[in-house]
């Protein structure tokens, strides 16, 4: 059995896949790796680029081609096909840090935590001289936590770029992401939570996340364009929280993630959308649904002053460029006074 399976969801990434695979195919590390390129119905040379690495490293690199199913469908395929003890997702336009990957593998050999978490960096438009680190704070590194001992009140968040997880947890509990849907990264991070008992943080950067493209799913315009996708993910995870038995620690963590997710949903509709009427209607519709679906979460969302203002105006607060600038300006002035240390969106 390989130590780590890495699924590389790939859709029309002929220009970046070589860099991605080059960062994974380190000869000294390959015996421990099961690298799966999931070609998700690409129309370009993605499969051809992948095949070059399959021929060069046949014991460690595989190409799996499938009709287009979206990012979630590609991850699902990787989970099903994985032969490694642990599982990680690396998108076909991102890379891993060599030293970080080495450290991760060393940790996986020695420890048996269900979930291993590492820092990652955001790489704006391929500029590695301007890395933006996303680090875990308020945790003890190289210490195996029981879930109930985590400092959840410090704003912990397990994102897909930080996660390396025991493969058997995903497979045994049938963790499956929605197909043909953007933003399922949130499902990947939350659906396994009921089954994770032990967590380990390592003090190293592993993942290098490429950002800055206007076509990226997390770009403001993409959020608005794909509002329905985000809505499906939010509603699925709110229902998941309602229907799944969880202990106090897991419930608290799930609610902390849902607050970020729901606030993002409100912002897409009530702040990002240039169509004032459509955005207001979407926000009111979601707000009414949330009140019915999970009144406790609805009330938690009302603890945010800006959201209270939006609700008070039935999500018709003027959203001109000037009003947005004023709101952002006031927030940044008050942030150090109010000691705001975490962002509300994810």
Delimit the domains of the chain by residue range. Answer: 2-211, 220-338
Parallel, antiparallel, or unpaired for β 198-211 and 144-146?
antiparallel
Half-sphere exposure of 329 (CA within 13 A, CB side): 6
Is the pLDDT at 127 greater than 90? The verdict is no
**Mean pLDDT computed over every residue of the chain:** 92
The helix/strand/coil state of 244 is: coil
Parallel, antiparallel, or unpaired for β 84-89 and 95-96?
unpaired
Tokens of 135: 């680090």
Task: Please tell me the predicted confidence (pLDDT) of residue 175.
Answer: 98
State the greatest distance between any 2 C-alpha atoms of the chain, in Å, as a whole number: 62
Please compute Rg for the chain using Cα positions.
21
Please tell me whether the overall predicted TM-score, pTM, comes out greater than 0.85 for this model.
Answer: yes
Tokens of 252: 């608290």
Lowest mean per-residue pLDDT among 3-12, 33-42, 212-221, 268-277: 212-221
Task: Output the DSSP codes for 14-70.
Answer: TTTHHHHHHHH--TTTGGGEEEEEEEES-SSSHHHHHHHHHHH-TTTEEEEEES--H
Tokens of 341: 């240390």
Residue found by looking up tokens 């890379």 in the block? 95
Q: Each residue of 211-237: pLDDT tens digit?
A: 976 556 567 889 999 999 999 999 999
Tokens of 69: 């199913």
Parallel, antiparallel, or unpaired for β 61-66 and 33-40?
parallel
Residues β-bridged to residue 146: 198
The residue count for the chain: 346
Region 59-76 average pLDDT: 98
DSSP single-letter state for residue 183: T
Closest among 86, 120, 88 to 8, alpha carbons compared: 88
Taking residue 73's Cβ as centre, other Cβ atoms within 10 Å add up to 23
In the structure, what pLDDT confidence band is assigned to residue 346 with cuts at 50, 70 and 90?
Answer: very low
Residue found by looking up tokens 């960096």 in the block? 121
Task: Please tell me the predicted confidence (pLDDT) of residue 131.
Answer: 86
Is the pLDDT at 252 greater than 80? The verdict is yes
At 164, phi and psi to the nearest 5? -130, 125
Q: Each residue of 75-125: pLDDT tens digit?
A: 999 999 999 999 999 999 999 999 999 999 999 999 889 999 999 999 998
Is the pLDDT at 327 greater than 70? The verdict is no
The helix/strand/coil state of 111 is: coil
Residues β-bridged to residue 87: 5, 165
Four-point Cα dihedral 309, 312, 313, 318, nearest 10? 0
Lowest mean per-residue pLDDT among 54-58, 296-300, 312-316, 330-334: 330-334
Say which CATH topology domain 2-211 has.
Spore Coat Polysaccharide Biosynthesis Protein SpsA; Chain A (3.90.550)
């Amino acid at each position: 059995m390989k130590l780590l399976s890495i699924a590389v969801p790939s859709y029309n990434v002929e220009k970046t896949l070589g860099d991605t695979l080059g960062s994974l195919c380190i000869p000294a590390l390959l015996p421990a790796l099961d690298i799966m390129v999931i070609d998700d119905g690409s129309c370009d040379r993605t499969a051809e680029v992948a095949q070059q690495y399959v021929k060069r490293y046949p014991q460690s690199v595989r190409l799996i081609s499938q009709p287009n199913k979206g990012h979630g469908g590609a991850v699902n395929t990787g989970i099903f096909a994985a032969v490694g003890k642990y599982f990680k997702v690396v998108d076909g336009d991102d890379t891993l840090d060599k030293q970080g990957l080495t450290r991760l593998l060393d940790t996986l050999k020695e420890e048996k935590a269900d979930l291993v978490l590492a820092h990652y960096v955001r790489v704006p438009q391929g500029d590695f001289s301007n890395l933006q680190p996303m680090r875990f704070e308020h945790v003890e590194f190289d210490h195996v936590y029981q879930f109930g001992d985590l400092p959840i009140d410090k704003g912990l968040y397990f994102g897909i770029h930080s996660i390396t997880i025991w493969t058997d947890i995903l497979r045994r509990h049938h963790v499956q992401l929605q197909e043909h849907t953007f933003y399922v990264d949130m499902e990947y991070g939350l659906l396994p939570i009921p089954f994770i008992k032990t967590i380990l943080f390592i003090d190293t950067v592993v993942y290098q996340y490429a950002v800055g493209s206007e076509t990226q799913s997390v770009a403001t315009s993409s959020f608005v364009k794909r509002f329905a996708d985000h809505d499906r993910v939010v509603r699925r995870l709110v229902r998941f929280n309602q229907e799944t038995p969880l202990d106090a620690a897991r419930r608290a963590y799930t609610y902390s993630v849902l607050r970020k997710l729901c606030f993002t949903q409100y912002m897409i509709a009530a702040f990002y959308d240039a169509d004032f009427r459509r955005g207001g209607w979407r926000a009111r519709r979601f707000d009414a649904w949330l009140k019915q679906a999970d009144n406790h979460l609805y009330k938690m969302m009302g603890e945010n002053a800006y959201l209270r203002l939006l609700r008070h105006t039935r999500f018709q607060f003027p959203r001109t460029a000037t009003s947005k600038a004023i709101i952002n300006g006031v927030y940044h002035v008050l942030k150090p006074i109010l000691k705001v240390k975490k962002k509300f969106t994810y």
